[in-house]
Amino acid sequence: MSQAMDVMNIALIIAFAAVALAQVLSMVRLVMGPSVGDRILALDTMVINAIGLIVLMGISQGSTIYFEVSLIIAMLGFVSTVAFARFIMRGDIIE
């Protein structure tokens, strides 16, 4: 059991590093994105990566309280992406 836990801890560290690197790369696209659609896409990717980071934190702490947090962040991310896109398309969010 302890050897398996060692393997899982190494996998957790690798997953934390990879998802944090993905977050940084999408932030680079958010800063340098030539068009508005790229920036909206980068923000959407950053929200999804943040959900992944929160799930990883829940695994590393052995807690299930973070699932509610990530569900709320998923809902807010979807609503904000739709609001950004509608604002670019229509010039208004709720007509």
Partner 1 sequence: MSWDIIGIYATSAALIIGAIFAMVGAIGLIKFNDPMVRMHAPTKVGTVGIGALLAAAIIYNSVIGDGAIHAILIMAFLFVTAPISANFIAKVNIHRRNCDTLPAPEGDETWSTLNVSEADRAIAPQKDGAA
- At 63 the three-state DSSP class reads coil
Distance of closest approach, residue 95 Cβ to partner 1, in angstroms: 15
**Residue from 40, 41, 45, 57 nearest 21 by CA:** 45
Report the 3 state secondary structure along 27-41.
HHHHHHCCCHHHHHH
- The C-alpha atoms of residue 47 and residue 59 are separated, in whole angstroms, by 19
Distance of closest approach, residue 75 Cβ to partner 1, in angstroms: 7
Interacting residues with partner 1 (CB under 8 A) = 1, 4-5, 7-8, 10-12, 14-15, 17-19, 21-23, 25-26, 28-29, 34-38, 40-42, 44-45, 48-49, 51-52, 55-56, 58-59, 62, 64, 67, 70-71, 74-75, 78, 81-82, 85-86, 88-89
Distance of closest approach, residue 33 Cβ to partner 1, in angstroms: 9
